[in-house]
Amino acid sequence: MTKKLEVNEQDELMAEKLKTKANELFKEGDYEAAVDYYTQAISYNPYVPQYFSNRSLANYKLELYGQAMQDATDSIALNPDFDKAYYRRATALVALGRLKEAIKDLTKVVQLSPNDRLVRQKLKDCQQEYKRIEFEKAIMVEDVKSVIDQLGDIDSIVVEDTYDGPHLTEVNVEFVLALLEYMKQQKKLHKKYLWKMLIKIKEYFESRSSIDDVYIPEGAKLTVCGDIHGQYYDLLNVFELNGLPSETNMYLWNGDFVDRGSFSVECAIALFAFKLLYPNSVYLSRGNHEANDMNKVYGFEGEVKHKYTDNTFKLFSEVFNAIPLGNLIMEKILVIHGGLFSKKGVTIDDLRKINRFQQPGQSGLMCELLWSDPQFLPGIGPSKRGVGVQFGPDITEEFTTTNNLKCIIRSHEVKHEGYEIAHNGKCITIFSAPNYCDSANNKGAYIHIDRNCELEYKQFTAVPHPPIGPMQYAGVYGKM
């Protein structure tokens, strides 16, 4: 926290003016600019707890949960009875799956504001979820069987006469195109066919390395896309603008297919269907949201259970555990969801050896690969998200030199223009969910890559979708 020895009246007036501007920017959805103005307000008057609390919320909106927690903590230090600051910190803790700590803060909020029924309910929800998780840990056995064993004889499942969607005999072009259109009409693929597809894609992913190799044949191009986050109609728009996947129109989707957007099931099914159709032309990388704790908070678990069943979600989870952690294009460009690592000397071979068939955890190579972000300063810094690290241009230079790479491509962060080129052109961020969460007003983008590993950037804007907003299936627990 930056402090001045003295704050005069002029400083106070300037701080209030900057705070007012920050509030306006926040309402407009420009959270990055809001953070900047709150920071300026704090520089003039670092003794107002509301400034830190407001910046905490703006950082939360930017998914910088670690920074949001720190701001809330600084606010509490200035006013130990500031209920809103405890609540802000609890929301960030919930986002990181740290329920035990969140319960402590929510309990404090209830003590300070005993008549707030909404907070009491959220405390109850967190307590119930924490008990459920602890119970599952207590009964967990080492040799956990696949949920597939609980599905029974899938072939014997009867498809009702009322079902008017595509029937799966094989994953061919006709089936996939019919499936895309059927889901566009907000209709559900029959669970029999979904289960068959998920089992088949799981088996395929299990046969691959943690870093898959991508080769671009003569006459083909590869399009790299970033986060789509359940925005199915924007995913369809990418195919409209850039062409459907084919043997010569290759795609690589770099994680975070699900969560936040309320058409995550459709996004995952569409991408898995194309992967099954064109296994050597469509590639997927796992993101930090292909994980159980994220799916609990940000809606995918609730969406799957609403549209299908609990066992269907468990099957999706097993598929997510099998998705490769990254893809190496022409041995020159590494595509991973988050970023680089807290230790030096990491090689592609080290990444290939990661046991990815599990949840990402809170530390280690797999966690950092999925969660880390670039920074302008050199070296390694603590993550503003509270998970992973931040890595500077020198870290990117060392990694690309060690592994003889042209650059890395990562996603994981909203960018106003849909992409960002950093670290002397060696660290590229691509984000493909335009107007993220119906509020960010950002463009989406994707990258064309040819056999010579030359990159061309394409931008696009959001398209309309049915009137179902983001986080529709997250429930009270996820809507803190």
- Encode pLDDT of 235-276 as tens digits: 999 999 999 999 999 999 999 999 999 999 999 999 999 999
Q: What order of strands is seen across the sheet that includes strand 389-391?
A: 373-374, 389-391, 380-382
| Rounded to 5°, angle at Cα 459 from 458 and 462 | 145
How would you write the pLDDT of the chain (480 residues) with one tens digit per residue? 455 568 999 999 999 999 999 999 999 888 999 999 999 999 999 999 999 999 999 999 888 999 999 999 999 999 999 999 999 999 999 988 889 999 999 999 999 999 999 899 999 989 988 898 888 777 765 557 899 999 999 999 999 999 999 999 999 999 999 999 999 999 999 999 999 999 999 999 999 999 999 999 999 999 999 999 999 999 999 999 999 999 999 999 999 999 999 999 999 999 999 999 999 999 999 999 999 989 988 999 999 999 999 999 999 999 999 999 999 999 999 999 999 999 999 999 999 999 999 999 889 999 999 999 999 999 999 999 999 999 999 999 999 999 999 999 999 999 999 999 999 999 999 999 999 999 888 999 999 999 999 999 999 999 999 999 999 998 765 666
* Per-residue three-class SS string for the chain: CCCCCCCCHHHHHHHHHHHHHHHHHHHCCCHHHHHHHHHHHHHHCCCCHHHHHHHHHHHHHCCCHHHHHHHHHHHHHHCCCCHHHHHHHHHHHHHCCCHHHHHHHHHHHHHHCCCCHHHHHHHHHHHHHHHHHHHHHHHCCCCCCCHHHHCCCHHHCCCCCCCCCCCCCCCCHHHHHHHHHHHHCCCCCCHHHHHHHHHHHHHHHHCCCCEEEECCCCCCEEEEECECCCCHHHHHHHHHHHCCCCCCEEEEEECCCCCCCCCHHHHHHHHHHHHHHCCCCEEEECCCCCCHHHHHHHCHHHHHHHHCCHHHHHHHHHHHHHCCCEEEECCCEEEECCCCCCCCCCCHHHHHCCCCCCCCCCCCHHHHHHHCEECCCCCEEECCCCCCEEECHHHHHHHHHHCCCCEEEECCCCCCCCEEEECCCCEEEEECCCCHHHCCCCCEEEEEECCCCCEEEEEECCCCCCCCCCCCCCHHHHCC
Residue ranges of domains in the chain: 9-139, 150-478
* pTM score, whole prediction: 0.92
9-139 classified as CATH 3.30.70.20: no
Reported as a single tens digit per residue, the pLDDT across 150-188 is 999 999 999 999 999 999 999 999 999 999 999 999 999
**What are the residue numbers of the active site?**
289
The whole-number pLDDT of residue 480 equals 67
Which fold is adopted by the domain 150-478? Purple Acid Phosphatase; chain A, domain 2 (3.60.21)
